[in-house]
Amino acid sequence: MQKTDIRPIDCLHFIDGKFVPSLDGKTFDNINPATEERLGTVAEGGVDEIDLAVKAAKRALDGPWKKMPANDRIAVLRKVGDLILERKEELAALESLDTGKPIWLSESIDIPRAAYNFHFFSDYIRTMTTEATQMDDIALNYAIRRPVGVVGLINPWNLPLLLLTWKLAPALAAGNTIVMKPAELTPMTATVLTEICRDAGVPDGVINLVHGFGPNSAGAALSEHPDINAISFTGETTTGKVIMATAAKTLKRLSYELGGKNPNIIFADSNLDEVIETTMKSSFINQGEVCLCGSRIYVERSAYEPFLEKFIAKTKELVVGDPFEPKTKVGALISEEHFERVTSYIHLALEEGGTIVHGGKRPEGLETGYYLEPTIITGLDRKCRVVNEEIFGPVVTVIPFDTEEEVLDQVNDTHYGLSASVWTNDLRRAHRVAGQIEAGIVWVNTWFLRDLRTPFGGMKQSGIGREGGVHSFEFYSELTNVCIKL
């Protein structure tokens, strides 16, 4: 039985400062992944709703937002962060109802970080400068920064409000207007966020939200609308390729945060208890539905057995169940389709010669809801699909290695390049190995430790561009160099 007195909400679009249904009245059901019950209905937008939203955003470009003095815009952004915190309990409950993630996770990570995204960028904007270049006594050059224009934000379902605000805050701070499309599986917190932005003083038309699906729906319409100047997308690599092809027709600026198959490299000289404590999170937090999860665990051979024994013992202690139960560590996967997809990889692992040393099936007594035991697999060859394809669930493979060269060869033998963790107390080895890993983010003796000023993003097929600090502003603004002859 789910314990929350927060009621789920029906979700309308938010266009030009008003909550509206689709023009054709189309809706789709929102399902609670922990109970398989209907939470409510969601307006399903398409070409017409996206066009209304883009027109509103374009009009708002010449409205009060761009002309607002920076200090006033900063105050509005700070207020958004404050109101998110004021409504933390409500937002956390809606996030857990939508995603199936444990309520402690929504309350301690997702919602506070959503507020911090706004507080961070409202402060960071004050540090933004441009540049001036003196050309002897011939000329003086200076750069001026202006918003890109109307920006499209397309978001995934795993950390819905955290990742939406990670884009929305800098996009607004840079003076843009927005059309955002949350994932169809997690519509509720994005809907409340638009209300919060309006209450904080964001003028009508500056932010617009259209619910819907990807192909032949709001997502595709957003990527092809000619008046969308830039798109920031977070989602699967395969989806990114489709959006890129569509957006190419109108040469949109693109920022991509895509999939990963991240290594967690454990050398024998590391502190095993410390490694295990963090590896439990990097393996199974948010049901393993985090792009940064270290799903390929490489352990130096002399530490392999001791690690595996402790890792299995700790995993056995994880409570899987009702997201609203305080003791729950692992909630429900996001949907029936995703549950089937993740489970299919577990079956594939057996076909590929792997051994399931823990988990692998639906937990006893949880017949309803998309629950899956945290799963540890050994004995797989480096070339098999389960070691190379993103599963995006509570499933990890553990692989022994003998030398640095060997493990680096395996670690980099992937078309992904998002993140990695390295565990060692040998400082020189830490620097040496970190510098050879083909990933956008490398954590040494930690995981998911975040300073929002740093470049965040992937290389190869894990992303294009970086988010965070100045990197976000570079994407959400245009620079003009003015050259004055002296």
Ligand X SMILES: O=C/C=C/C=C(\O)C(=O)O
Ligand Y SMILES: NC(=O)c1ccc[n+]([C@@H]2O[C@H](COP(=O)([O-])OP(=O)(O)OC[C@H]3O[C@@H](n4cnc5c(N)ncnc54)[C@H](O)[C@@H]3O)[C@@H](O)[C@H]2O)c1
Closer CB to ligand Y, 163 or 399, in the complex: 163
State the catalytic residue, choosing from 257, 300, 373, 467: 257
Contacting ligand Y within 276-305 (CB under 6 A): 291
Q: Does 291 bind ligand X (CB under 6 A)?
A: yes
Per partner kind, with CB cut-offs from 5 to 8 A, the member of ligand Y, ligand X, none near residue 176 is none
Instruction: Give the active site residue among 11, 197, 291, 293.
Output: 291
Contact positions with ligand X (CB under 6 A) in 132-171 = 158-159, 163, 166
155 lines the binding site for ligand Y (CB under 6 A): yes
d(CA 220, CA 250): 13
Nearest approach in angstroms of CB 122 to ligand Y is 22
Residue 257 appears among annotated catalytic residues: yes
Kindly tell me which residue out of 42, 52, 150, 292 binds ligand X, with binding defined by CB under 6 A. 292
Binding mask 64-103 for ligand Y (x = CB under 6 A): ----------------------------------------
Q: Taking CB under 6 A as the rule, does residue 267 contact ligand Y?
A: no
Site string for ligand X, 438-477 (x = CB under 6 A): ------------x-----x---------------------
Least distance (Å) between residue 272 CB and ligand X: 26
Only one of the segments 78-86, 232-240, 316-324, 341-349 lies at the binding site for ligand Y (rule: CB under 6 A); that segment is: 232-240
Active site (annotated) includes residue 483: no
The option from ligand X, ligand Y, none interacting with 450 (CB < 5 to 8 A, set by class) reads: ligand X
Segment near ligand Y (CB under 6 A); pick from 15-23, 92-100, 155-163, 468-476: 155-163
234 interacts with ligand Y by CB under 6 A:
yes
Of 155 and 270, which CB lies nearer to ligand Y in the complex structure? 155
181, 198, 225, 466: which one contacts ligand Y (CB under 6 A)? 181
- Total number of residues binding ligand X (CB under 6 A)? 9
- SS3 sequence, the chain? CCCCCCCCCCECEEECCEEECCCCCCEEEEECCCCCCEEEEEECCCHHHHHHHHHHHHHHHCCHHHHCCHHHHHHHHHHHHHHHHHCHHHHHHHHHHHHCCCHHHHHHHHHHHHHHHHHHHHHHHHHCCCCEEEECCCEEEEEEEEECCEEEEECCCCCHHHHHHHHHHHHHHCCCEEEEECCCCCCHHHHHHHHHHHHHCCCCCCEEECCCCCCCCHHHHHHHCCCCCEEEEECCHHHHHHHHHHHHCCCCEEEEECCCCCEEEECCCCCHHHHHHHHHHHHHHHHHCCCCCCCEEEEEHHHHHHHHHHHHHHHHCCCECCCCCCCCCECCCCCHHHHHHHHHHHHHHHHCCCEEEECCCCCCCCCCCCCCCCEEEECCCCCCHHHHCCCCCCEEEEEEECCHHHHHHHHHCCCCCCEEEEECCCHHHHHHHHCCCCCCEEEECCCCCCCCCCCECCCHHHEECCECHHHHHHHHEEEEEEEEEC
Q: Is 94 in the site for ligand X (CB under 6 A)?
A: no
Furthest-apart CA atoms within the chain: distance in Å:
80
Segment contacting ligand X by CB under 6 A, of 139-147, 290-298, 311-319, 355-363: 290-298
Binding site for ligand Y (CB under 6 A): 154-158, 163, 181, 183-184, 213-215, 219-220, 223, 234-236, 239, 242-243, 257-260, 291, 390, 392, 418, 458, 463
Q: Which residues are catalytic?
A: 257, 291
Binding site for ligand X (CB under 6 A): 158-159, 163, 166, 290-292, 450, 456
